[in-house]
Structure 1
């Protein structure tokens, strides 16, 4: 097992959860059976996921950064025969024109080789160990430059070097696969390549211990009527033969048999009766050996493109099994009949509804008892074969957003985390407690998908009583409330405190569905649920049908996409352009919204009262002239802080009766400390300080004492540098997110801040206004994300948790690299 250590020299910072979707390319996931590790690409990162084992939930155990472009292919290096090496390795291909090899060193995977040679995007890759020691290795890569590069690592070296290049003459390689060729020695490999011509070309790659390495074209196979998307090899028992499966966009899968001929003469064949039907054979020679290739069978059963085919691991005496993945929402398990040899459909897996397209690829797990698949929505689906029930059962597996994550927010009591993304979804993340009655540190999973929208999401704010408001690339903000079925499952799986009165109220919706051409989640009540069960298929306005389910384990992607929506309770109209940021007061009374703006007229902030959802105030003179990038209320709800692209911050404060807010103070570009866009802001837990940070990397902490004075005056105060609580802190890159911890770090004046940057680094720093060293960097987590961090947020403290984990804090981060991460922090180890 490998574990990701986020702290340097201690466990002050420990990775607890990673949620990230799979890139939308067919070959970006692979499963290593020996270590039970699933490697998949997400944005420019590679995540190593360890599925759920007995008593432990599955989780991402390591994230690898290095590529500067999208990861397009991930493949474990295949071993030859009885491999003596215990060091697993995998290879990745990226849009940054590079191929990288990652090796396990002291329990962690590190980048050990970078191969540069392609002149454009690298689309596919395959790797193969070519010696029993696994020292000699071959990597084949294909790119948009119409070439296939062959890379070699010698038995006495660590780096891969380019040994040959195959020019496809303006024909794009669609997929490739390398395997050992039986009967010709360990140093010879067989390479299968499919191209735009719909043919499959076979090459031999020979690494000579003495002399020059050679690459030779052997033959071409035709038969498919569209591009061949997937290739896969498997040996046939103890024979020196191979089966190759090819999956195509024509909806078919072809199985080819590659056999070692008994005679060295490829033209000689055993005579057979003239009336016997014989398949056409292609023959080729390698040295003194002769081989033939013949079509074994054509498998027809899918109704769409077949993106991938994977062979099950074969044990002695076991029957062959082939798995095919299609965009028709199905995965078919094929196997030949032991007596007749006729291939038949043994099982069919998949999901029903929820996504417009189906599966892009997948892999087979240890001993062939598990199957994982990834889809066009970046989701993962896992099935495990139950020998007791004699069937394939869906199992929970972590996944996440498949586009930039733009914002996140904790539920006010910290029971769960909500995230929004440009992938047009809102997702709910919570811990799976093995015993909900007792608060335990369980594995995190996506427990609900409250919103599946038609626009990219920009911002989210949570409210008490399991409500939230979200903003997307549209002129309105939308409010949602949790349905009863979601609350039931959160109480069962995560121990969330939900009153019986709330669950038993019949006026509250049980779930939600989405109209076929609508963007609003329609509430479903108990009576309507029963109607849907009996009249399913008659209401064409709904794209999915809600069915109440009480879960015993975290939900599958099929459930999340159809059965976990939250009903929409209100639309908030008032802005002239797309709503960009939202914020909610801690008491749940107010919500503030702001939209994209290029003039002061549209840079206003609208304040809404949540009981009636009426406008309380429309701040035409909000003090801003460009887009408000973030807003946040002070913990005591006395002030509303906003920052903008106009390089200023403003603060609106409450009147004496706290019935509304008015503009109290603002910064000035001439006397302020920020010269570029102010991206982020936050408040300390005691409302004594607020912080701002900008594109030029300046972080500033301001005292709120001057705001108390401004509340007693009618004029708008203009902040100067005298308002600063200490010196500013400069970072070498843009600071994109800030958050104060929910309690003091030590003593009575030291605060802890999390600082997220444009490169994906997070700094943990202490701040004290009474110390000569106001800023101290306690920890820097490099390569936390591979792209801009959009939000950092500490988990609110709650008595049920703080009693047991007194020294622990939880920090959530979101990034444009498609991921949401949660860390456990131990401040006492930082301070020491």
Structure 2
């Protein structure tokens, strides 16, 4: 999107998947949808990039479902529009439309409110080329069945009608599946399962009125997933349909529903009775037909709750007749961190586990769901850590892990660029620190950049609130602050420096001599996830003895990290274990948990603040980089200091606070390396909490942003007084993040101010200096501000923006990059091109 000579494009979105069953859906269009906090995120498995996030939900997104889903890919070859349903924790369901021709999304409608509580499952089937039936259920126990008619033309509207709404028992349903029954009588069967351990079957016509048909008993714990196959043909006739169910009892059951008329003499067949002969169940009556239900098979193999089961999508046999073949193949995903593919053996017909992917893991919770790609050659799991895991069949049932997008699964609290602008570092309440970078090998294959998570330097035992990257020369270092009273300093190990060489788009900023000085290859996790211990280069060649000689280690069940130099973007298991950085120092001094951090531009001083209710606790500490000694305790505020920033010449430290005041400290350095400081001013800047501040890169003006929905521009004059220059027009939402960039040297004082809001939206404002008309010596310059661009909501955050950061511009560079992070669990990078 562009405006007034400034163009903004999405470069990268990093986000984790909500840790909820039924959250992920793989559509016939080849794209995957998932909930990321209140947003619906769309990702492309081919590029492993998140394409967009759809704004509209006011609560956490619980489930998504494509129309048509991968099951109906064989019917969707000519579709230009694909549709997506998403349901949230407030009971709202939204219908979205994707135009395949231009990749544009639109919010079609909100389904009339029919659920009082969180939606737990949505499932739909194509009953014709233009007609879909779908069912939704929520934790209030209600089930609704809907008919949706797609428009015949591009300009047409979708028609939605509710066919039926009913409640099943007293316990809520969490799994649904719909199917058309074989026999051409237009009967629809709806299966649901939940907290009462039974599968409830309802039958109805296309016009609605669903009646309870029967119950299937056998599972001994909650039912978590149900999926109907399409009719499976025997001897050219399709007269039976299968239902697969999975449960927290660790078992999977396959139920066969066979048309009664095809079963001579009730059930006696002339075929020999084998192990797969039926254990007869109830008869399902649907209109004029009846179906004998029997338990076809019980699959035991998982060691924990089985959260999802899904039939492999049908394979197209002939395009003309629209005929298809339903493979007898089922994918299951379990909390034991494995996915399995089950198929009947050719000769005996007994269902066997033919493929297992993942790892039986004792130290991490497993998978919340698994999904087939539309053509059945890939399988995708989403896990407890908000992570995706994708395997592709590269031939002869050889399933290999593939690249996937990754990101935080809790609010992202801070983001920072490294000093060369080669990567961004983000921290989150999911207790991790992550590094994202563009990967150069892929950049040559296509336009633009593909970004990936390339390291997870810190995996912690506390929620992380803030981070700052040390700007001085030498090795990469950062300081992070979490919900604890200590700051922690980390230094890049050799494995990361070499990985960055492989990834980096520019020639590495590290000469080999820096690398040769680094004696630490990587780091190991500690038992409580607090301090990360270094692994030394020479120690790798020795065989470590870790079995009980030194006492403590015998208690640790955490496997040793294997620091790896990556030659292509890593997958989740590598990231979470093998890319840690060692912790080099701890900064003790604060009385409460650390809340904000910043480093000066020379890389000599780090300032830190903590949560505070009193002036004594609200003091700001200054630390000397290298020795990490405390060299100052700055007092001015009475409540938490929310953000701090050094001026670009490092002469001033600006701090803003919950106490509605901002303060400016003068920082003086003597030739001998001594630091002295003095309070220049303390002023009430706003009527509510001041959340954010940012200095003009070319002078002593600065901006402050507040909960009172205003942004004010100030100037330090004669290095002694502060004057307000301007108040921007009031915004629609609290201002939570600011970052000021310069627009180049030729218009020295022109700047671009990025403003992030609680609503998730980001605006760019130009700030230009104008001198007083008459050339009077004492005329102070004033500032003119103009809105340049409102960034498209489809590439913005959907919840509060927590931090904005511009990448340092290189010489003569037209393109600028803006990184942002927010409460919607997302990290984003935008390209901003200024004419």
Q: TM-score, normalised by structure 2?
A: 0.89
1:585-622 deviations in Å (ceiling 9; x for gaps): 11111111111111100010000001101011122xx2
Closer, same or farther: CA 545–10 of 1 in aligned 2, 3 Å: farther
Equivalent residue, structure 2, for 1:330: 338
Closer, same or farther: CA 353–219 of 1 in aligned 2, 3 Å: closer
Secondary structure of residue in 1 paired with 2:754: strand
CA RMSD of superposed structures (Å): 2.7
Cα distance, 1:341 vs structure 2:
1.0
Of the structure 1 ranges 547-556 and 352-361, higher mean CA displacement relative to structure 2 is found in: 352-361
Matched, 1:385 2:380: no
Residue pair 2:519, 2:537 contacting (<8 A) in 1 also: no
Q: In structure 2, how many angstroms separate the alpha carbons of the residues matched to 1:379 and 1:554?
A: 15
Matched, 1:72 2:58: no
Q: In structure 2, how many angstroms separate the alpha carbons of the residues matched to 1:817 and 1:697?
A: 20
Matched, 1:526 2:537: yes
Cα distance, 1:267 vs structure 2:
5.0
Matched, 1:724 2:731: no
Secondary structure of residue in 2 paired with 1:504: helix
Residue pair 2:11, 2:830 contacting (<8 A) in 1 also: yes
Equivalent residue, structure 2, for 1:680: 692
Matched, 1:491 2:498: no
Equivalent residue, structure 2, for 1:112: 108
Secondary structure of residue in 2 paired with 1:769: strand
Closer, same or farther: CA 570–335 of 1 in aligned 2, 3 Å: same
1:385-429 deviations in Å (ceiling 9; x for gaps): 222x85211112111011111111111111110111111111101
Cα distance, 1:355 vs structure 2:
5.5
Correspondence for 1:420 among 415, 427, 452:
427
Equivalent residue, structure 1, for 2:675: 660
Cα distance, 1:201 vs structure 2:
1.0
Cα distance, 1:435 vs structure 2:
7.3
The answer for unaligned runs of 5 or more in structure 2 is: 152-156, 318-324, 772-781
Closer, same or farther: CA 11–77 of 1 in aligned 2, 3 Å: farther
Equivalent residue, structure 1, for 2:621: 606
Cα distance, 1:10 vs structure 2:
9.0
Counterparts in 2 of 1:543-562, with a 5 A limit? 543-562=558-577
Residue pair 1:20, 1:401 contacting (<8 A) in 2 also: yes
Closer, same or farther: CA 11–609 of 1 in aligned 2, 3 Å: closer
Matched, 1:46 2:46: no
Equivalent residue, structure 1, for 2:87: 93
1:328-381 deviations in Å (ceiling 9; x for gaps): 111112111112111222121114759520010121114211111111111111
Of the structure 1 ranges 570-579 and 789-798, higher mean CA displacement relative to structure 2 is found in: 789-798
Secondary structure of residue in 2 paired with 1:346: strand
Equivalent residue, structure 1, for 2:830: 823
Matched, 1:814 2:784: no
Cα distance, 1:528 vs structure 2:
3.6
Equivalent residue, structure 2, for 1:482: 492
Correspondence for 2:798 among 786, 799, 804:
786
Cα distance, 1:262 vs structure 2:
2.8
Matched, 1:509 2:520: yes
Equivalent residue, structure 1, for 2:779: none
Residue pair 1:184, 1:289 contacting (<8 A) in 2 also: no
Equivalent residue, structure 1, for 2:785: 775
Q: In structure 2, how many angstroms separate the alpha carbons of the residues matched to 1:528 and 1:474?
A: 32
Secondary structure of residue in 1 paired with 2:514: helix
Of the structure 1 ranges 13-22 and 232-241, higher mean CA displacement relative to structure 2 is found in: 232-241
Residue pair 1:638, 1:653 contacting (<8 A) in 2 also: yes
Closer, same or farther: CA 746–735 of 1 in aligned 2, 3 Å: farther
Equivalent residue, structure 1, for 2:127: 130
Cα distance, 1:533 vs structure 2:
7.5
Cα distance, 1:159 vs structure 2:
3.6
How many residues of Structure 1 are paired with residues of Structure 2 in the alignment? 787
Q: In structure 2, how many angstroms separate the alpha carbons of the residues matched to 1:436 and 1:20?
A: 21
Equivalent residue, structure 2, for 1:207: 206
Residue pair 1:264, 1:290 contacting (<8 A) in 2 also: no
Equivalent residue, structure 2, for 1:713: none
Equivalent residue, structure 2, for 1:60: 50
Equivalent residue, structure 1, for 2:776: none
Matched, 1:563 2:570: no
The answer for unaligned runs of 5 or more in structure 1 is: 1-5, 711-716
Q: In structure 2, how many angstroms separate the alpha carbons of the residues matched to 1:60 and 1:340?
A: 44
Cα distance, 1:296 vs structure 2:
1.2
Residue pair 1:652, 1:661 contacting (<8 A) in 2 also: no
Residue pair 2:816, 2:831 contacting (<8 A) in 1 also: yes
Matched, 1:193 2:203: no
Equivalent residue, structure 2, for 1:468: 478
Q: In structure 2, how many angstroms separate the alpha carbons of the residues matched to 1:24 and 1:725?
A: 47
Matched, 1:700 2:715: no
Secondary structure of residue in 1 paired with 2:393: strand
Secondary structure of residue in 2 paired with 1:646: coil
Of the structure 1 ranges 534-543 and 449-458, higher mean CA displacement relative to structure 2 is found in: 534-543
1:236-261 deviations in Å (ceiling 9; x for gaps): 24623222211111111111122223
Q: In structure 1, how many angstroms separate the alpha carbons of the residues matched to 2:177 and 2:444?
A: 50
Cα distance, 1:797 vs structure 2:
2.4
Cα distance, 1:270 vs structure 2:
4.5
Equivalent residue, structure 1, for 2:241: 242
1:775-821 deviations in Å (ceiling 9; x for gaps): 1001112531111000111112245xx6xxx2111111111011011
Matched, 1:227 2:222: yes
Cα distance, 1:193 vs structure 2:
0.1
Q: In structure 1, how many angstroms separate the alpha carbons of the residues matched to 2:120 and 2:603?
A: 49
Q: In structure 1, how many angstroms separate the alpha carbons of the residues matched to 2:445 and 2:312?
A: 41
Q: In structure 2, how many angstroms separate the alpha carbons of the residues matched to 1:610 and 1:205?
A: 72
Matched, 1:759 2:759: yes
Q: In structure 1, how many angstroms separate the alpha carbons of the residues matched to 2:216 and 2:755?
A: 56
Residue pair 2:660, 2:690 contacting (<8 A) in 1 also: yes
